[in-house]
A and B are shown apart, each in its own frame.
Chain A
Amino acid sequence: MEAIDIFSYFLLLLLLLSGIKVVTTSNVIHAAIFLVFTLATTAILFILLSAEFVALVLVLVYIGAVIVLFLFGVMITRAPLGPNAELDNDQNKIFATLISISIFGIFTYILLQTFDSTVVIREGTSTKLLGEILLSRFVFPFELVSFVLLGALIGGITLARKDNALMDEDQI
């Protein structure tokens, strides 16, 4: 086994641990920070899978922007500093554990059945090539993305604005 494989296993372990912390920690900000760790390990994993551009996109968009948005959201919804006992539905815990473990079980079974010993191939990806494909083969989804983003922007502004649309139009 190569060193890089050992490192990959270590990363996967780290990924799962931080993922578990995201859903179990009782502090909202800590959860967001553990999500950063999850994403950072994912980014390293991407680099190992020779997808460097995707890894940096993950860092730029997720860690640099979406997490900040989450932190803003947490602060605006007035999450208390420190642990918050009321974060979880305690009565759901057993049920949720059962469901998630069974999903995991089914997935694992299928995966083990399907991909026996297929090997990942680590070879370089040219970002230039990626751009070329993105703008030729995927040109339609690419343009569509701009509409999705525009829609998200308008929708988000409409929802988050102070004089809400609900109040402006629906109220007589």
Chain B
Amino acid sequence: MSFSSELLIKVLVVLATAPVMALGLTLLEVKGSAWMQRRPGPLHVGLRGFIFPLATAAKYFQKETIIPKDVDEPVFKWAPAWVIAAVVGLFTIIPLSPTLVVRDLELGVFFLLAISSISTIGVLTAGWSSANKFSLMGGLRAAGQLIAYELPLILSVVGVVIQAETMSTVGIVEKQIEFGFPFVIAGQGIAFIIFMIAATAEMMRTPFDMPIGESELTMGFMTEYSGIRFLIFYISEYINLFVMCAIASTLFLGGYHIPLLPTEWVNFYGPLVLIGKTFILAFLLIAVRWSFPRFREDQLQTLAWKVLIPVSLLNIMVTAIMKVVF
């Protein structure tokens, strides 16, 4: 198959899966939260409430997009584009099997970190251009939080890179298969926890949702957004949830592989295994979201700078020593 037709197919597959995954996670979120809150959740929309996320999304398409008069229009209008482009771009490196991957980049993990940092600009400009005090504070909080937690995210990955000696995501999974254990057991347990905390903060989910903090800042940097642009922020959040959980399972949980399964059949079970692991991790984050209140802004920054970053640096040092000495 020629490169271009292959690329076209891959793009189309991602085009189809990304929104489906977002909707699937939305459903998991509404049903999961309902289960945790002793209520039935959506029941009446379509197949026992199962097409509820689709109905919600469809609703937003028909809603008026209000652009307030004081906003900086081009910046305001394009702010969601930064976020969704960065998030969809990350699909490139998620491996469903050694061959079922959009592209296995040599710099895979580094690429992930570089691209994911772009969405900060989208959030900050969204907050600024809204000309609204709540948006501005939300945007600043969001930017402060995204940059503070990007570091632990980056640094926790370094341990994995040291162990795997490669930055390619497929290479990392293959290394884990070679090891026989996923990295979360083989030395990177702390890194995994840091990664999940930092990823939660990057996604601005409770208990790190003060940029949105609806009881303080009404809707944070999204206050002035309505209609389709709000939906784009919303959908990006869930695509991001999927991507981050998929990356976490790839880096730490053995990705598309489960020990004892025959590796030659990985193309068949790989996608299922990875999506399964992703949804389990996502459910973990959903359970956390519905159990905790949110931190305060200063507590959040303290946690990042005084705990997570030093600990992840320590993790790097320990991993490096283990690698060199043994």
* Interface residues, chain A, with chain B CB atoms under 8 Å away: 27, 29-30, 33, 36, 52-53, 56-57, 59-60, 63-65, 67-68, 71-72, 75, 81-82, 127
Q: List 8 A-B contacts (CB under 8 A).
A: A29-B75, A33-B121, A53-B107, A64-B117, A68-B120, A72-B143, A81-B70, A81-B131
- Which residues on the A side are within 8 Å of B167 (C-beta)? 127
A65 touches B129 (CB 8 A): no
- Nearest opposing residue in chain A for B110, CB measure: A56
B72 on the A face (CB < 8 A): yes
B125 on the A face (CB < 8 A): yes
Known: A63-B121, A64-B120, A72-B143. A33 touches B75 (CB 8 A): yes
B115 touches A59 (CB 8 A): yes
B29 on the A face (CB < 8 A): no
- Which residues on the A side are within 8 Å of B74 (C-beta)? 30
- Which residues on the B side are within 8 Å of A33 (C-beta)? 75, 121, 125
* Interface residues, chain B, with chain A CB atoms under 8 Å away: 70, 72, 74-75, 106-107, 110-111, 113-115, 117-118, 120-121, 124-125, 128-129, 131, 136, 140, 143, 147, 150, 167
How far, in angstroms, from A4 to B121 measured CA to CA in the complex? 30
A interface majority secondary structure: helix
- Nearest opposing residue in chain B for A55, CB measure: B114
How far, in angstroms, from A127 to B114 measured CA to CA in the complex? 15
Partner pick for B72 among A53, A59, A71, A81, CB 8 A cutoff: A81
Partner pick for A59 among B118, B124, B128, CB 8 A cutoff: B118
Known: A71-B125, A127-B167. A60 touches B140 (CB 8 A): no
- Nearest opposing residue in chain B for A43, CB measure: B114
B147 touches A65 (CB 8 A): yes
Partner pick for A75 among B70, B75, B131, B140, CB 8 A cutoff: B140
A71 touches B118 (CB 8 A): no
- Nearest opposing residue in chain B for A75, CB measure: B128
A60 touches B114 (CB 8 A): yes
A29 touches B72 (CB 8 A): yes
B interface majority secondary structure: helix
Question: A147 CB to closest chain B CB, in angstroms?
Answer: 18
Question: A45 CB to closest chain B CB, in angstroms?
Answer: 16
- Nearest opposing residue in chain A for B120, CB measure: A68
Partner pick for A60 among B75, B106, B117, B128, CB 8 A cutoff: B117
Question: B297 CB to closest chain A CB, in angstroms?
Answer: 15
- Nearest opposing residue in chain A for B78, CB measure: A33
A27 touches B72 (CB 8 A): yes
- Which residues on the B side are within 8 Å of A72 (C-beta)? 140, 143
How far, in angstroms, from A82 to B74 measured CA to CA in the complex? 11
- Nearest opposing residue in chain A for B119, CB measure: A64
- Which residues on the B side are within 8 Å of A81 (C-beta)? 70, 72, 128-129, 131
Known: A81-B129, A127-B167. A68 touches B72 (CB 8 A): no
How far, in angstroms, from A30 to B76 measured CA to CA in the complex? 11
- Which residues on the B side are within 8 Å of A67 (C-beta)? 121
A56 touches B75 (CB 8 A): no
- Nearest opposing residue in chain B for A124, CB measure: B106
Question: B173 CB to closest chain A CB, in angstroms?
Answer: 19
How far, in angstroms, from A57 to B121 measured CA to CA in the complex? 17
A82 touches B72 (CB 8 A): yes
A68 touches B147 (CB 8 A): yes
Question: A125 CB to closest chain B CB, in angstroms?
Answer: 10
How far, in angstroms, from A60 to B167 measured CA to CA in the complex? 16
